[in-house]
Structure 1
Amino acid sequence: MCGRFVVANVASELVGVLRVDVEGEVLPPPSYNIAPTARAAIVLDSAKTEPATRRLESARWGLVPGWAKDPSIGSRAFNARAEELEDKPMFRNALIKRRAVVPASGYYEWKQVDGGKVPHYIHPADDQPMFFAGLYEWWKDPAKADDDPDRWLLSFTILTRDSVGHLGSIHDRMPLFIDGDFADAWLDTDTDDHNVRDLLDAAIDAAPALADTLDDHVVSSAVGNVRNDSPDLIAPAA
């Protein structure tokens, strides 16, 4: 699973290779401790234009489907198992129509050891941005007026798969990593229903090679408190 991640730079600095056309007016600032229900920047292709417009937008972490009664359901949907998406009503339609890329600097995972859990910071060895495959949804708040700019909530989830290699020794799940080249295919709004399964399988199969390029080190337990947010959190533990 992925329950905390890091965006150490302004989000627009992380997505150069993704060729974003439009940046949202209000994007989240850098953060070293992004937790579920917090906001982060995601990349999506909007099919409302021809050709599709690639957007960098602020979204709430934790998927809230359009049929939800309220946003609280998102707190339980910050991750989605890639191999189960087609069987889950929560994620099925988003997989077909609303795929996203989540840019990050790294993420945290907790390793179970005798006496408790130890947090690790996992990140690209070359300190370049990393990308998680995700899904997004729009939810309309029925309690707000049609002209209220806050009536529509954009939310997202990060996909996961079985861990491999050295990451498997930390946790049994890892984010579904994708690279900048594959991101174009992942975001493509013209992918039809029949080809989505092949697209997802390709992402799952390619992730282990990307996982092999990542480094990790133990960090302070301070990351466990969501109120802590500073560069010190990603420093190796003393």
Structure 2
Amino acid sequence: MFVQLTDWFPVILSIKVALLAVTAVLITGLPLARLLARLEFPGKDMVEALLTLPMVLPPSVIGYGLLMLIGKNGLLGQTLSELGLSIIFTWWAAVLASTVVAFPLMYQSAKGAFQSVNINFEQAARTLGASEVKIFFTVTLPLAWPGILAGLVLSFARALGEFGATLMVAGNIPGQTQTIPLAIYFAVESGKEGTARTLVAIITVFSFLVIYWVNRWAKQKKYNLR
């Protein structure tokens, strides 16, 4: 039994949510990773513990925390309600949940990548008069790129498979907030084994192709740099 045309919605939504989440963690995680990879200050360990906390917390705890933030009575939710806006139980809530759970993977990978860059290369560029921005984009980023790419792939996979937190803040609304993990779970629960198997096959093949393409691209990139 193949999925019907309407059953493709979870696939499209999951990819859209994952791409937006990866974009968000790249924009936020990369600068933080670069800053904290070199900077030392009192309380740094506590800051890093907070940044990576979603990696070890149960998804239900993350979901509850997001409910307290963006729910109707939440800190941000009340402000949005006064403006006539609402994130809760929309697909934007799914993006937020996926971003939160994927962020630590991007941050940890990027931080490790930046720390692996030999600081002497950056110092040499400074002595030649290069600006910090130019040093970052021409020296630091190319050298750290393999680790950053690994973080992007891990973040995308985590965002694509997010279930618990998404269910709590976005719900399972067919045609609106139902992502692939939610569609698979509720298809099995309702006895639609054919739909569940097809969705599992789709997400497995898609994830395999993404990882395969990234690995091939990274290998080609490494070869070209030799």
| TM-score, scaled to structure 1 | 0.24
Normalising by structure 2, we get a TM-score of 0.25
Higher helix share: 2
Give the number of the structure whose alpha-carbon radius of gyration is greater.
Answer: 2
More strand by share: 1
